[in-house]
Amino acid sequence: MTISILRTADDWWVHTPTGAARIATPATTTGELLADRPAIHAAIGASEIVPVENLDLISPITVPCRVVAQMTNYASHVRDAGMDPKKIPLTFFRKSSGSISGPNDDVVRPGHVRFLDYEAEIGLVMGQETPVGSVITPETIADHIAGLVITNDISARDLQLPKTQFYESKSYASFTPAGPTLVLFDAEDWNRFDELRLRLWVNGEIRQDMTVADMIYRPVEALRALTRFQHLSPGDLVLTGTPVGTALSAPPKPVEIISNLLPPATKWRLFFKAQGRNPKYLKSGDVIEIAISTDDGKVDLGRQRTTVRDAR
C-alpha cells in the first residue's frame, strides 16, 4: 500500500483520506525521515487531522542531495527527436540539487534564456545506501527505491543544444520543481509502475500524455547501470526521462541533413530563428500543471502547479 508524504517548512505529514496527519519525527532531511518508519506508520492512524489545503507545501526532497537524470528514455520522445528507440543507449547526466524547488513555487526564467522548456518526469527517491557495485533485481528494487515524486526537468534549450551543456541548462534555481507528495512504494506497488500516466498542461492545454509503458529503460536497468560508478544515498533523486510533447521537436530530416553541412554558428542561428516561431516555449505567466497517477487513481503522485516568471 502506498503512503503519501507531504512537507512544510517545519513539519512532515502523512496524507490520509481525510486530510494530513503530522509525523512526530526529529527528521530534517528526506533521508532521515525515510529511516524513521515507525513515526510514519504511527501518523497514519493519528486522530488529529488538518486540511491539506491549509498547508504551505514545499518540496519533499531536501537539499543537498544527488540529482541524476536519464536521457531520452521514452520511445515516443526518441522518435520525435528523429532517432530510433532500439538504438538509444542508457545514459545519464547530473543536475544541481540547488535547482530543486517546491510544487507550487515559481519557475524563474533567467534573463539570458529565451527558449525555456518543460519535461514531466517521475523521480525515483532512494531509500537506502546503495554503494557502487550493488546488485539490483526486480525482487530488491523496493529495498533501494523508497518511493516516487513528480518532477519537472526545466530546460534552457538555447544553452543546452549549441554547447551540449546539460548541467548548466538544467541546473538554475527552480529548474527542478518536485512534489507535492513523496509516494512511498512497497514491493507490491511496483507491479503497477508501468500503468502510471504522466500528463502535463500549459495554461490548461494538454502537452504530454503517456504511460510508463513507453519507457525504454525501467528503474531496475537504470540503477544497475548507474551503480556501476555512482554511490547513491537515502533521499537522492533519479529522474527517469520524459515522453513526447515537449516544446522542442526535431526538424524534418531533409532540413536536418542540410543544416549539418553548415558551419555550427550558422546552423544554430538558423535553428533558433525557426524555434522563435514555436509558441510552445514557456513565457512569463504560463501555468504548468503535472499529474502522475494510474488511470484508476489507486496510485497517485498528486498534482504540481507552477507559474513561470522572468527573473527580476
For residue 187, which of 237, 127, 250, 111 has the smallest C-alpha distance?
127
**Could you give the number of structural domains in the chain?**
2
Query: Residue 255: its pLDDT value, please?
Result: 38
State which of 31, 56, 81 marks the end of a domain.
56
**Per-position pLDDT tens, the chain of length 312:** 899 999 999 999 999 999 999 999 999 999 999 999 999 999 998 889 999 999 999 999 999 999 999 999 999 988 888 889 999 999 999 999 999 999 999 999 999 999 999 999 999 999 999 999 999 999 999 999 999 999 999 999 999 888 788 999 999 999 999 999 999 999 899 999 999 999 999 999 999 999 999 999 999 999 999 999 999 999 999 999 999 999 987 554 433 444 454 456 666 676 777 788 889 999 999 999 999 999 999 999 999 999 999 998
- 189 plus 222 within the same structural domain: yes
- 250 plus 298 within the same structural domain: yes
- 24 plus 103 within the same structural domain: no
- 97 plus 197 within the same structural domain: yes
Question: Is residue 227 a contact partner of residue 214, using CB atoms and an 8 Å limit?
Answer: no
Query: Residue 253: its pLDDT value, please?
Result: 44
Query: Residue 61: its pLDDT value, please?
Result: 98
Query: Containing domain of residue 18, as a range?
Result: 1-56
Question: Is residue 239 a contact partner of residue 151, using CB atoms and an 8 Å limit?
Answer: yes
For residue 180, which of 99, 292, 69, 96 has the smallest C-alpha distance?
292
Rounded CA-CA distance 207/201 in Å is: 5
Phi and psi dihedrals of 79, rounded to 5? -65, -40
**145-152 and 205-211 strand pairing:** unpaired
Query: Residue 261: its pLDDT value, please?
Result: 43
- 12 plus 79 within the same structural domain: no
- 82 plus 170 within the same structural domain: yes
pTM for this one? 0.94
- 145 plus 156 within the same structural domain: yes
- 163 plus 271 within the same structural domain: yes
CATH number for the domain including 238? 3.90.850.10
- 64 plus 48 within the same structural domain: no
- 42 plus 103 within the same structural domain: no
